[in-house]
């Protein structure tokens, strides 16, 4: 199976990374938070930041700070979790976008890798009721690499993250050298995580719950507890659907209090992330799913809600 490894100046390095998402829902305010956010990256000991494909293209200040701190940047082009149009008109618009982005960022020594998108190969394979080969995606196999050959030919390029090449597609996705480990959320020590064969984990995480102080900022008093049947908890869940509970009934016990539920869940999330970072595996990286997120959302991964509000 192919391996995705990282070298700097000829030396192979272990990557401890994090994914970067917009710092504020109002992007005009992103810049004022950049310095503090990059300080968090340094404090965590991360040596690479992945600018995720559902992101915006960051301000030049971000890349300047990464240059100064010696932090590598993996830059996805801004496509994520979808099958994008394959016609010539869309390809031409993407070609112009890629050229503009590359010309703006290619001089930064921190920029280590271009990636075509986030999880679009996965979407090609699994959506629409039929199994499609993502290597037929002209955007990431032809349009983007064509621009890179002209504008930045020496920098590595990954067509998608995770990248489903011919070998991985033929194997039914079993042989992915780089992967996003989002599996069962009931057991962070389960076989899905501990027996993964990928050598580069570019996304991994585990569910938790935001603190009471954060919840009080966007949930009205009568909706905070219990969460069972709460329209506001449902509204802030990953995929709010009419008639669907925000949490499974088995977990909607009124014997708990909101602070005690949060207090019980936080250590479990902490241990899960500790195991993710320290687990023995044949690869050369581990990734924190998101350093920061500006959304006030719960993510219902399995049995409990999660907030990824980091700042």
Q: Catalytic residue, from 39, 58, 203, 232: name it.
A: 203
Token pair belonging to 249? 């009934």
Query: Hey, what are 74's tokens?
Result: 């993996």
User: To the nearest 5 percent, what fractions of the chain are helix, strand and coil?
Assistant: 35, 15, 50
The residue with tokens 């936080």 is 266
Residues pairing with 13 in the sheet: 6
Indicate the Cα dihedral angle 208, 210, 211, 217, nearest 10°.
-170
Burial group, residue 285, by CB count within 10 angstroms (0-12, 13-18, 19+): buried
Catalytic position from the list 58, 119, 122, 178: 119
Contacts of residue 81, defined as CB under 8 A and 6 or more positions apart, other chains included, come to: 54, 118, 119, 120, 122, 123
Q: Are the beta carbons of 228 and 249 closer than 8 angstroms? A: yes
Is 32 annotated as catalytic?
Answer: no
119 is catalytic: yes
By annotation, the residues acting in catalysis are 119, 203
């Amino acid at each position: 199976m192919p391996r995705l490894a990282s070298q700097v100046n000829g030396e192979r390095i272990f990557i401890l990374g994090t994914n970067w998402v917009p710092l504020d829902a109002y992007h005009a305010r992103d810049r004022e938070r950049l310095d503090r956010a990059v300080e968090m990256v340094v404090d965590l000991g991360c040596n690479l930041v992945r600018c995720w494909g559902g992101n915006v293209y960051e301000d030049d200040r971000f890349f300047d700070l990464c240059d100064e701190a010696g932090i590598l940047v993996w830059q996805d082009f801004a496509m994520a979790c979808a099958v994008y149009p394959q016609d010539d008109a869309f390809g031409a618009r993407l070609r112009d976008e890629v050229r503009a982005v590359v010309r703006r960022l290619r001089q930064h020594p921190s920029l280590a890798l271009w990636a075509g998108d986030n999880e679009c190969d996965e979407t090609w394979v699994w959506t629409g009721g039929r199994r499609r080969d993502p290597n037929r995606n002209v955007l990431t196999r032809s349009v983007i690499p064509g621009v890179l050959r002209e504008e930045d030919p020496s920098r590595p390029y990954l067509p998608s993250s995770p990248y489903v090449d011919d070998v991985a597609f033929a194997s039914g996705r079993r042989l992915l050298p780089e992967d996003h480990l989002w599996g069962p959320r009931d057991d962070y020590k389960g076989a899905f995580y501990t027996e993964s064969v990928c050598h580069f984990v570019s996304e991994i995480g585990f569910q938790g719950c935001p603190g009471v102080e954060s919840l009080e900022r966007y949930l009205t008093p009568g909706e905070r507890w219990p969460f069972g049947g709460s329209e506001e908890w449902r509204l802030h869940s990953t995929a709010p659907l009419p008639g669907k509970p925000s949490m499974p009934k088995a977990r909607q016990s009124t014997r708990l209090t909101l602070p005690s539920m949060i207090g019980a869940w936080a250590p479990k999330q902490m241990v899960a992330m500790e195991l993710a970072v320290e687990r023995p595996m044949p690869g050369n990286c581990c990734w924190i799913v998101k350093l920061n997120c500006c959304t006030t959302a719960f993510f219902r991964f399995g049995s409990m809600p999660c907030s990824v509000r980091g700042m």
